[in-house]
A and B are shown apart, each in its own frame.
Chain A
Amino acid sequence: MDVLAIFTAVMEPHLLLTVLLCTLYGAFVGSMPGLTATMAVALLVPFTYFMGPAQAVAAIVATTTTAIFAGDISGALLKMPGTPASAAYVEDSYILSMNGKPRTTLFTSLIAGVLGGIIGVIILAFATPQLARLSASFSSDEAFWLATLGLSCAVFVGGASVARNFASLFIGLAIATVGIDVAVGHPRYTFGLEDLYDGVSFIPAMIGLFALSELLRNAGSGEETRLGRISIEPLFTGLRDAWREIWHRKLAVLRSGVGGTVIGALPGAGADVAAWIAYALSRRFSKTPEKFGKGHIEGIVDGGAANNAAVAGAWTPALVFGIPGDSVTAIAIGVLLMKGLTPGPDIFTTDATLVYTIFGAFLVANVLMLLTGGLAVAVATHILRIPRAVLMPLVLMLSMIGAYAIMGSTMAIWIVLVLGLLGFAMAWAQIPLAPAILGIVLGKVVESNFMVSMMKAQGNLMGFFERDAAAVLGVVTLIVWGLLLVRAALEIIGRHNTLSAKDAKK
């Protein structure tokens, strides 16, 4: 492979301009509540007809990475995560922003995201075939265990008790049962409404649970935040503090970046699971786990690095086997085929220059994202100055339109309204909201893999442990569950003891 040829191809002005424009576009779409990375990429497709292969793929890559990061912007400023991946640390980033540090928070997730993305590209450049081998060994058994492990991570988030986290998770899982059953195609809880056949999609669910419930809570409180008197730190201070935070946690960034790439490459997982597992690990290894969920930056660093690394990881099965890891790479494969490039193990020999140009563009996209993402943060943080009473209804209107656009039916609006009330009730009962989102996103994944495995093994539960990789993952998951149950029991006993101690004093 000719390094110089690749370098000139990557530095070609048209390519750079495409990447720059697409990072701006991705930042815009990602930060709009209700618009997703997948939607952004689908809208790009007609333009890619007129581009060369490297330029077309660079456009898709640049748009996705920035859109995934930009999901953090609405999360931190409005408590409305743009992607399920951002939902893992939304409590932390929102509290930090409300305490006058929106820029530090967002620059931290931006830099962490950029570094995670770069780690992902480096791994892609050197180990794509090996990673693809790993992902190809995953059948429904392994995918089931990975998804359940992801679900267990929900219990680690937030400041709430284990029992409350479980409650939230199960509310999410219950919502995920709505729609056509994945195994036998039977409609459940749809009340004969065709619009519910596809289930409750996570965009309207997130808008309802987070945004609408926050709006209701805001309306009922006389807090200062209603009047837009939140202070915003100077740009430079934010940047400096963010960098200090990242530098302080450089090893954690590396760990989350590598972990995120690997998880992103595995089928059935993707950026969402990567961010949640990184957040849970971050809390597990932290010296101050009790601060998580109350405005602590550690989880934002780790989760932010992991979800952008996972975006890169998702390309491995697509490039090597032509099997898309997520809906974005599914579109990308279509574009590659249209450009006369057939994904496959040979792509690294037959089209080496092009493949490495694509990786180069990946790298450039991540670097340029620092610029455009930074610009987006600098501009977007000003919306905190708008009085909440004016801002929130506007946001609600925009996100309703977004929800409607995703589903193309008024059912989306009903889902937002119903889940908004549910979210309000949950907040009132001090049940955290984030685990419910994970339940909604992963419920179908867990169920379909479970059903597929059961059908393959003809109802034999031991089938889940018959393959080597599945057995290892299964045992790890069961140990995590065991530990969680013990912790929950200790929490209850502890509370009981303090209560009886108080009684004794009386």
Chain B
Amino acid sequence: MKKTVQVAALATTLAVSGTALLAQDSCDWKPERAVTYVVPWGAGGGTDANSRMMATLLEQAWGVPFNVVNRTGGNGVTGHSAISRAEPDGYTVGAVTVEINTMHWVGLTDMTWEDITPIALIDIVPASVLVGKDSPFTSVTELLDHARANPGDLTASGTSLGGIWHLALAGMLNAEGMAPDAIRWIPSQGAAPALQELVAGGVDVASPALSEGKTLVESGEVRALAYMHDAPMSALPDVPLTAEALDSGWTLAAYISVSGPDEMPENIVCSYEKAIAEVVASDEWAEFKASRGAEVVDMGAADLAAYMEQQDAALGEVIQAVGLAK
């Protein structure tokens, strides 16, 4: 079966590169029927919310339905392959997330960011360092000093083993010259159960997206020691940045993009790029972002490709340091 897929992919590649040559640089492609918008993660999460909002606004802009489909499973493999392998005719796009840069390193799939077509970056999600309200630690340096002196004493959670928030914490420890497991990682099924554990006192630290812990931070149940970013965010302006607090200047952020299948023709890519740039500049989008405590990000296809390439190398290094590379 694999062979037929490859042959079919080759055939479409040839056909598509032909049309790409003819139609280059005319960014006026428009969908004439419903578009499928694949989301590799479950309904209710951050990727889902951003993608559904984007789909709704693209639907308004182009006047055809954008159907959001949650293709979950396989730690993101299922949905990402669905995007990568779809017909690159503009009628399938999807939310490719930072996992495209981690999955292949840990051996879940052979697919890399080169097997999809980046279109635009729509969200940047920095990781955070959270502790319970009764925790003795008041700064990220205190926490790291304790971990340095007592490796293995503290536990942390936030996602599955090798998931992006695990890499955030282990990478920070590694960058600060410690063993990546100086704080032991307790896997969880996503951020919500990890935050539950943190509030219940089951783990000492959680390192999910700052936006996911925002409610608990604001209500005082949880204390944010830092977030792993280099620019302050308006949602929680008082929380310190790791870029400033740590000698290594460590930062890590997940991202959400709009991307197309492998070998999407240039004119379709730039048409999407243009439409998304207009959505991102709109008041509705700004309002939506503000309601979630996130910043509006605006990055086109060329910059996104470079960003993905750079992330891929950086995350690969962390995964090798943690010892999860296969």
Contact = CB atoms under 8 A, between A and B. Distances in A.
B196 A323 contact: yes
A86 to B, nearest CB: 22
Given A46-B56, A330-B43, A334-B49, A198 B72 contact: yes
B44 A182 contact: no
B161 interface: yes
A341 B137 CA distance: 30
A323 B49 contact: no
Given A139-B197, A140-B197, A322-B216, A184 B42 contact: no
B45 interface: yes
A338 B49 contact: yes
A289 interface: no
Instruction: For chain B, give the interface size range.
Output: 35 or more
A333 B192 CA distance: 12
A267 B199 CA distance: 12
B187 A194 contact: no
A42 B43 contact: yes
Contacts of B229: none
A337 B49 CA distance: 10
B219 A42 contact: no
Contacts of A451: 187
A414 to B, nearest CB: 15
Contact of B70 (A42, A46, A49): A42
Interface stretch (B74-82, B168-176, B238-246): B74-82
A331 B72 CA distance: 15
A455 B202 CA distance: 11
A480 to B, nearest CB: 24
B188 A452 contact: yes
Interface string B203-230: 1000000000011101101000000000
A321 B75 contact: no
Given A45-B43, A197-B77, A334-B49, A452 B187 contact: yes
B78 A455 contact: no
Contacts of B69: 408
Contacts of B45: 330, 334
A490 interface: no
Contact of A344 (B52, B71, B219): B219
Contacts of B200: 136-139, 142
A197 B74 contact: yes
A122 to B, nearest CB: 25
Contacts of B44: 324, 327, 330-334
Given A49-B56, A456-B203, A194 B78 contact: yes
B82 to A, nearest CB: 8
B139 interface: no
Q: Which 3 A-B pairs give the minimum distances between C-beta atoms?
A: A330-B44, A139-B202, A322-B215
Interface of B: 42-45, 48-49, 52-53, 56, 69-75, 77-78, 81-82, 106, 108, 155, 157, 160-162, 184, 186-189, 192-193, 195-197, 199-203, 214-216, 218-219, 221, 288, 291-292
Interface of A: 38, 41-42, 45-46, 49, 136-142, 180, 182-185, 194-195, 197-198, 267-268, 317, 321-324, 327, 330-334, 337-340, 342-346, 408, 448, 451-452, 455-456
